[in-house]
Structure 1
Amino acid sequence: MRVLVIEDDAILGAALQEFLNDQGYAVDWLQEGESALKELTAQVYDLLLLDLNLPGISGLDVLRQLRRQGNAIPVLILTARDGVDDRVGGLDAGADDYLIKPFDLSELAARVRVFGRRRSGQVQPVIDVGPLSFDTIGRELRCAGQRVTLSVRELSVLEMLMMRAGRVVTKQQIINSLSAWDADFSDNAVEVYVYRLRKRLEGTGAVIQTVRGFGYLLDVESVAGA
């Protein structure tokens, strides 16, 4: 999942970017509203974390402009404004959720996971595909009950395939979801991660097929017949 953070506080912004990267998300970070509006016109994101007290155009005005433009990106407001009128104003302007500073990072992570589940249509926090079980909260994969150790990137790629089990996931979808500005994530990188996953899944009955010219598919039939 690709996330854009708009936060003018350099320490907090950098901390949020690092924390969410560690959670397996591709995260870009900007510090003011005008740049955010330009970036959101040029690039598709899955979630916007938006501070309200920004230099120049306010976060609330950024949100209003996005909604007037028909941009339906999910928005989670992060702000120190804790009054009821502030919360109502943010939600009425088109925000999907509201988190008051200071907040616990574990709560932020939980709320971001909710948006991820909504995006994929996944209701439960655990994704089960045949012998594979992926805990999206603990970021842990198990196969037939045994823990499988994967890197953050490998987990993220496999998560996309498991959420769309039986359907093709294109290379470009993987790149768009996992690439941040400072990340060198290319077709070749996707192929490397898929190769590693195939090696890790050997003998499990779960097969990642290449659909030539399109992308990859986690073979549900092979899983079911294992």
Structure 2
Amino acid sequence: MRLLVVEDEKALCESIAKGLRLDGYEVDTAFDGEEAVEVISTDSYDLIILDLNLPGMDGLDILKNMRENDNETNVLILSARGGLNDKIEGLDSGANDYLCKPFHFEELEARVRSLTRRRTVQNNIVLECGEISLNTKTRTAFAKGEEIALTRKELAILEYLILHQGRPVSQEELIEHVWDGSVDSFSNSIRVHISALRKKIRTALGKDPITNRVGQGYVIGGNGE
């Protein structure tokens, strides 16, 4: 899952991004409104965490402009504006959730988990596909009930594939949602990580549930299982 944190307090922004990266997300950052608009217009995100009091352009204006063309991307407002009218205006402008500062990071984590799951039919913390399960809270994966030792990147790939099980996920889609903005689209890194993931799962299950449909992408579950 790829997230964007828009926050002008750089120390807070980097702290949030660091914590979410430890949770297995790929996180980009923006420190002012103009930078956020530019990043949002060029990249695709599963969730945007948006402050309101931003230099350059107010967060609500960013949200309103974004919703003119994009009603799919989840937006969590994270703001010191804690009044009832502020919350109502934020939600009416298209935010999916609203969290006031100061906040507990554990609550932010829970809201992020909830919002990123809403894009799929999965409603549980534990995602399942056949004999594979992945706990999105503890960031652990299991095959036939036994834990598989996966790297952070391998877990992120597996999570995205399970969330979209039954359909092909292209390499370009994985770049958009599992890697951050620094990835080189011509790099061999993606194939290397997927190959390592498939090898570990094959060792644990005795078979490889991930198939590669030429010209389409990687599939887990459904007809690809």
Tell me if TM exceeds 0.5.
yes
Matched position secondary structure for 2:27: strand
Q: One-letter code of the match for 2:108?
A: L
Measured at CA, do residues 155 and 185 of structure 1 come closer, stay the same or move farther in structure 2, by a change above 3 Å? farther
Show the counterpart of 1:176: 176
How far 1:219 moved relative to its partner? 4.9
Unaligned runs of 5+ in 2: none
- List aligned pairs for 1:112-127, cutoff 5 A: 112-127=112-127
Show the counterpart of 1:71: 70
Tell me how far apart the structure 1 counterparts of residues 210 and 52 of structure 2 sit (CA, whole Å): 43
How far 1:158 moved relative to its partner? 0.9
Q: CA deviation digits over 1:80-99, x for unaligned, max 9?
A: 11111111121122111001
Tell me how far apart the structure 1 counterparts of residues 31 and 111 of structure 2 sit (CA, whole Å): 22
Contact 2:213/2:219 (<8 A) preserved: yes
How far 1:176 moved relative to its partner? 0.8
TM-score under structure 2 length normalisation: 0.91
Show the counterpart of 2:62: 62
How far 1:181 moved relative to its partner? 2.3
Matched position secondary structure for 1:48: strand
Residue 104 of structure 2 is aligned to residue 104 of structure 1: yes
Measured at CA, do residues 220 and 95 of structure 1 come closer, stay the same or move farther in structure 2, by a change above 3 Å? closer
Number of matched pairs: 222
TM-score under structure 1 length normalisation: 0.91
Tell me how far apart the structure 2 counterparts of residues 158 and 57 of structure 1 sit (CA, whole Å): 37
Q: One-letter code of the match for 2:157?
A: V
Tell me how far apart the structure 2 counterparts of residues 222 and 7 of structure 1 sit (CA, whole Å): 41
Residue 216 of structure 2 is aligned to residue 208 of structure 1: no
Measured at CA, do residues 95 and 166 of structure 1 come closer, stay the same or move farther in structure 2, by a change above 3 Å? closer
- List aligned pairs for 1:143-182, cutoff 5 A: 143-182=143-182
Unaligned runs of 5+ in 1: none
How far 1:54 moved relative to its partner? 0.8
How high is the sequence identity, in percent, across the aligned residues? 38
Tell me how far apart the structure 1 counterparts of residues 172 and 18 of structure 2 sit (CA, whole Å): 24
